[in-house]
C-alpha cells in the first residue's frame, strides 16, 4: 500500500476532481473498495443471526473475492476463512489467519492438503469418498491425536418436485449422498477408527432463488441428520452460503433481508437444539452478500463515436471488468462529468477496449451522452468479478481501498512484468 491519498470530501462523495486525482495516481480505470460498507455488511449479518442464535460463526467465502486486503479486514472483525482450495488455504495463512479459524471445503483436496489441514487443526469438511482414505490413514498414523472432521452432505432439496438448483440441474454434484446410502457407509467407515470424531455437517447448495423456504429445508435436514447420527459429538451445523445481500433497485428482485434469513434459519436451530446444554455452532458462509456492493469499477471515457445512428462510448475497461459472464443486464451505473453543461438525453452503448464485438459494458443507456475524459462508475462489482477477471489483451487494473477519507492502493495495476510472470514464462 504505497500510494495514499487523503480527501476531505468523506465517504461516498466521489466528484470529478477526486476521481480524476485517483486516476492520476492509480490509472485511468480502477476498482474502488468501500471498506466501511464491507464492515457494515459484516455487522448487519452478524447482528441478524447472533441476536437470534448466540453460537454463530461467519466464514467468509474466499472464492467470491480473495483480495488479500479484504480478507484481512474481515478477519480483523471476526470472520473465519472459508476456503475451497490449497491456494486459498495458503492465502489465509499468509495474511495471518489462525489455522484453527479456517474452514476447508471444496471437492478437490490432495492427501498433502488434508494432512496439512489436520496437522493445523483446521475445520475440514469431507466432500467426496476418496478423502476418507486420506483421513483414515492420517488417523492411524497419529493414534494419540483426536481427529475432528465434518462431512458435506448431499440430499434432494427440490420443492414440490421442482429443482431449485442453479441452471435447473436436477442433482447437485457436491457432497456425500444421503439417499443412496453413501452417508451412512462413510459414517460407519470413519467411526471404525477410534480416534476419528465427526463433529459437524455441511450443506451448501447453489440455488436459483435463494429462498427462505430452501434455507429452512436445508437447515432442518442438517439438524435431523445430525441428531440421528452425531448426537454425542456434534459441534456445528454449517448451512453454507448463497444468501442474498442488499440489492440495487435496478435488479428488481424482492430479496429476503438478513433478518428474514436469520429468523428462518435460527428458528429451526433453536427448536431442534432447545434442550441441549451446549448448542452447536451455526456456521454461515456468505460471499456475494458480504462483498458484492462494496466495490465499484471506475473507467475513463476515451472516445465517443457514432456508427450510422448508434452512439458508442469507449472506456478504458472491458466487460471482463464488470460482467465476466457477459450477461446482457446493465449494472447500476452513473456518469461523472467533467462539464456541467446540460444536453439532451441520447441512447448509447458503453463498450470496452478488447477486439471482441461482444465487449459491451452496458447496452442501450439513455442519458446525457458522455464526453471524452468523463468517468463512468459501475456499481455492485465486488462478487466474483475480480477473481474471474482474465489476463486478456490488457493488464488488469489496480484496486484502491477507501477507508473514510483515506484512499490507498491495495493491488497495483499490472505491468508487463506481472502479466508475463518471468518465474513461470520462458522467453
What are the chain's domains?
Answer: 4-34+293-419 (2.40.37.10), 35-286 (3.20.20.10)
Q: Is the pLDDT of residue 11 over 50?
A: no
Per the annotation, the verdict on 355 as an active-site residue is yes
Which H or E run contains 378? Answer: strand 375-379
Give the model's pLDDT for residue 3: 66
Give the model's pLDDT for residue 340: 86
Give the model's pLDDT for residue 13: 76
Pull the grid cell for residue 144: 494419540
Kindly name the residue from 177, 355, 408, 426 that is annotated as catalytic.
Answer: 355
Q: Is the pLDDT of residue 8 over 60?
A: no
Which pLDDT band, with edges at 50, 70 and 90, does 7 fall under? low
Q: Is the pLDDT of residue 1 over 90?
A: no
Distance between CA atoms of residues 343 and 304, nearest Å: 15
- CA nearest 331: which of 279, 296, 372, 286? 296
Distance between CA atoms of residues 366 and 344, nearest Å: 10
CB atoms within 10 A of CB 379: 17
Distance between CA atoms of residues 50 and 71, nearest Å: 21
Amino acid at each position: 500500500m504505497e500510494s495514499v491519498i487523503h480527501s476531505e470530501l468523506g465517504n461516498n462523495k466521489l466528484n470529478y476532481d477526486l476521481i480524476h486525482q485517483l486516476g492520476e495516481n492509480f490509472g485511468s480505470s480502477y476498482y474502488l473498495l468501500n471498506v466501511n460498507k464491507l464492515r457494515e455488511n459484516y455487522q448487519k449479518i452478524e447482528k441478524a443471526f447472533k441476536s437470534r442464535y448466540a453460537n454463530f460463526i461467519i466464514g467468509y467465502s474466499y472464492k467470491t473475492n480473495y483480495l488479500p486486503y479484504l480478507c484481512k479486514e474481515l478477519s480483523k472483525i471476526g470472520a473465519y476463512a472459508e476456503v475451497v482450495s490449497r491456494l486459498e488455504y495458503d492465502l489465509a495463512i499468509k495474511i495471518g489467519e489462525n489455522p484453527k479459524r479456517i474452514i476447508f471445503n471444496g471437492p478437490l483436496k490432495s492427501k498433502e492438503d488434508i494432512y496439512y489441514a489436520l496437522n493445523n487443526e483446521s475445520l475440514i469438511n469431507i466432500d467426496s469418498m476418496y478423502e476418507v482414505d486420506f483421513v483414515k490413514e492420517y488417523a492411524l498414523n497419529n493414534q494419540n491425536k483426536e481427529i475432528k472432521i465434518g462431512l458435506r452432505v448431499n440430499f434432494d432439496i427440490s420443492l414440490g418436485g421442482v429443482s431449485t438448483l442453479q441452471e435447473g440441474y436436477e442433482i447437485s454434484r457436491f457432497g456425500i449422498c444421503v439417499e443412496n446410502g453413501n452417508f451412512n457407509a462413510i459414517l460407519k467407515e470413519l467411526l471404525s477408527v477410534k480416534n476419528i470424531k465427526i463433529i459437524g455437517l455441511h450443506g451448501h447448495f447453489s440455488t436459483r432463488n435463494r429462498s427462505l423456504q430452501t434455507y429452512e429445508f436445508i437447515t432442518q435436514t442438517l439438524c435431523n441428520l445430525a441428531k440421528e447420527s452425531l448426537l454425542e459429538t456434534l459441534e456445528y451445523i454449517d448451512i453454507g452460503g448463497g444468501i442474498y445481500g442488499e440489492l440495487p433497485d435496478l435488479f428488481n428482485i424482492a430479496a429476503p433481508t438478513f433478518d428474514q434469513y436469520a429468523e428462518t434459519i435460527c428458528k429451526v436451530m433453536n427448536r431442534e437444539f432447545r434442550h441441549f446444554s451446549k448448542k452447536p455452532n451455526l456456521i454461515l458462509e456468505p460471499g456475494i452478500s458480504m462483498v458484492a456492493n462494496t466495490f465499484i469499477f471506475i473507467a475513463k471515457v476515451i472516445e465517443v463515436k457514432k456508427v450510422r445512428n448508434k452512439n458508442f462510448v469507449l472506456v478504458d475497461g472491458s466487460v471482463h471488468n464488470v460482467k465476466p459472464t457477459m450477461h446482457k443486464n446493465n449494472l447500476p451505473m452513473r456518469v461523472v462529468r467533467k462539464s456541467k453543461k446540460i444536453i439532451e438525453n441520447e441512447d448509447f452503448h458503453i463498450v470496452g477496449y478488447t477486439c471482441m464485438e461482444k465487449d459491451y459494458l452496458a447496452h442501450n443507456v439513455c442519458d446525457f451522452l458522455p464526453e471524452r475524459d468523463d468517468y463512468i462508475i459501475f456499481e455492485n462489482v465486488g462478487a466474483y468479478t475480480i477473481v474471474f477477471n482474465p489476463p486478456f489483451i490488457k493488464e488488469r487494473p489496480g484496486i484502491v481501498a477507501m477507508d473514510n477519507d483515506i484512499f490507498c492502493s491495495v493491488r497495483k495495476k499490472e505491468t508487463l512484468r506481472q502479466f508475463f510472470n518471468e518465474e513461470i514464462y520462458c522467453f
